[in-house]
Amino acid sequence: MAGKPKLHYYDGRGRMDSILWLLAAAGVEFEEKFMETSKDLEKLRNDGSLMFQQVPMVEIDGMKLVQCRAILNYIAAKHNLYGRDTKERALIDRYIEGMADLNEMFIFLPITPPDEKGAKITQIKESTTNRYFPAFEKVLKSHGQDYLVGNRLSRADIHLVELIYYVEEIDPSLLANFPLLKALKARISNLPNVKKFLQPGSPRKPPMDEKCLAKVKEIFQLK
Amino acid sequence: MAAKPKLCYFRGRGRMESIRWLLAAAGVEFEEEFIETREQYEKLQKDGRLLFGQVPLVEMDGMVLTQTKAILSYLAAKYDLYGKDLKERVRVDMYADGTLDLMMMIALAAFKTPGEKEENLALVVKKAKTCYFPAFEKILKDHGEDFLVGNKFSWADVQLLEAILMVEELDASVLSDFPLLKAFKTRISSIPTIKKFLQPGSQRKLPPDSHYVKTVRKVLQL
């Protein structure tokens, strides 16, 4: 019998958060192995566990998977969250790649130098309100269904709601002009697995604080 | 009868080149519309065909596709270049994603200042030699097969060849410590569709030059 997936990363959001959300939404229990120091990362590298010397790495179904996109694709397909056919999948991919672009901005925000942070936050706000949120609001409006693709829950809904939570942490008012996105957020948040994940005590990670930032800089030897 | 796929992008590699490679490898003829002016770009945006206001754009099978990785995944699945099951597929994804990361570094370096550009490109060669190429050499060594995944030609093989050639443009000796990758390069290059794409006069694009960078900056208002 297969063991639980094992997630290798540091105790924070970064590039692992989308994977956490997807596993949680799919109702998959998992274990987490946190790197605390650069030595832990070195050990993983020396073990040959990291194909391109990078984390995240997820041990699942006898494999050691790296590259977020590959990991997310695998989990989504395995748990039926990737559309019913090639065309639905292509649609989902289009949406989630856009979301990944926005997500990149959030991932790098905590390690942005203080004097550049203001500009970065402005960029996030502008991209959100002028590019991404309007696109997804339009999709929901165009078919009037409860989910982005194929009238059924897919990874696209999970990733988008995750992003909406991040955006609201920066500025809750940004969601104001997007009623359908607000409704999607409420609907997805009420799904039993997601509701459980949103509760305190779940593996969900808080925004990065100074302590975590110092740890990340040490682990990845960032300046 | 299906129309040829139509690609819309700048006249250069950028984010469209991997798509051109994959179509070519699959033996699919395609047409290209090149963006040369800001007006063209604004028209595309107004037309509503760019989901997030960005290119690449590929029109095929009655769909308007954007987002590079979404397009590549679609093509890989359609032309049976994505492994035979989920476990093979995730390996193709891992390898393709890794090589795409490397190639993106090269593509983005073109837009940096001369000093930064040199630094970034040197870093790319270093990463290729110490991180990516050793990983792929090991994969080929461990299974001893001709292709990266499932003993069958896949998207991962196309991308790796593309990446090898791109890095060789920066440092011709980069494969000197990787005998299996050298053999891989020769083998994949001789596949008829790929051989054809590697010939002069094909739709393969040249490395970014100052004219390309200027055009992109002007159109995207960077």
Check residue B59 and report its DSSP letter.
E
Alpha-carbon distance of B205 to B68, in angstroms, equals: 17
CA of B200 to nearest chain A CA: how many angstroms apart? 33
If pLDDT is split at 50, 70 and 90, which confidence band does A2 have?
Answer: low
Identify the pLDDT of residue B3: 86
Q: What was the ipTM of the complex prediction? A: 0.92
Identify the pLDDT of residue B2: 67
- Answer whether residue B51 shows pLDDT above 90: no
Q: Which of B65, B78, B94 sits opposite A51 (nearest CB)?
A: B94
Identify the pLDDT of residue A223: 73
Q: Which of A52, A73, A86 sits opposite B74 (nearest CB)?
A: A86
Task: Using the Cα atoms of residue A42, residue A43, residue A47 and residue A53 in order, give the sign of their dihedral.
Answer: negative
Identify the pLDDT of residue A185: 98
Alpha-carbon distance of A148 to A151, in angstroms, equals: 7
Beta partners for residue B31, in sequence order: B6
Q: What is the average per-residue pLDDT within B138-149?
A: 98
Range B215-218, long-range pairs (CB < 8 A, 24+ positions)? B215/B10, B215/B11, B215/B12, B215/B36, B216/B10, B216/B12, B216/B14, B216/B111, B217/B111, B218/B37, B218/B38
Chain-wide mean pLDDT for chain B? 96
- Answer whether residue B175 shows pLDDT above 80: yes
Identify the pLDDT of residue B222: 85
Chain-wide mean pLDDT for chain A? 95
Identify the pLDDT of residue B176: 97
Contact B69 A69 (CB under 8 A): yes
For A45, which residue in chain B has the nearest alpha carbon? B131
Q: Tokens at residue A107, please?
A: 């991932």
pLDDT digits (tens, 9 = 90+) for A120-132: 999 999 999 999 9
pLDDT digits (tens, 9 = 90+) for A165-200: 999 999 999 999 999 999 999 999 999 999 999 999
Pick among B49, B61, B73 to test the A interface (most A CBs inside 10 A) = B73
Q: What is the average per-residue pLDDT within B169-196?
A: 98
Q: Which of B66, B74, B90 sits opposite A70 (nearest CB)?
A: B90
Name the one residue in this structure whose structure tokens are 């993106």.
B104
Identify the pLDDT of residue B53: 87
Check residue B3 and report its DSSP letter.
P
Size of interface A-B (CB pairs under 8 A): 76
Q: How many CA atoms lie within 13 A of A148 on its CB side?
A: 29
Pick among B60, B84, B89, B97 to test the A interface (most A CBs inside 10 A) = B97
- Answer whether residue A1 shows pLDDT above 60: no
pLDDT digits (tens, 9 = 90+) for B121-136: 999 999 999 999 999 9
Pick among B51, B60, B127, B141 to test the A interface (most A CBs inside 10 A) = B51
Contact A63 B53 (CB under 8 A): no
- Answer whether residue A59 shows pLDDT above 90: yes
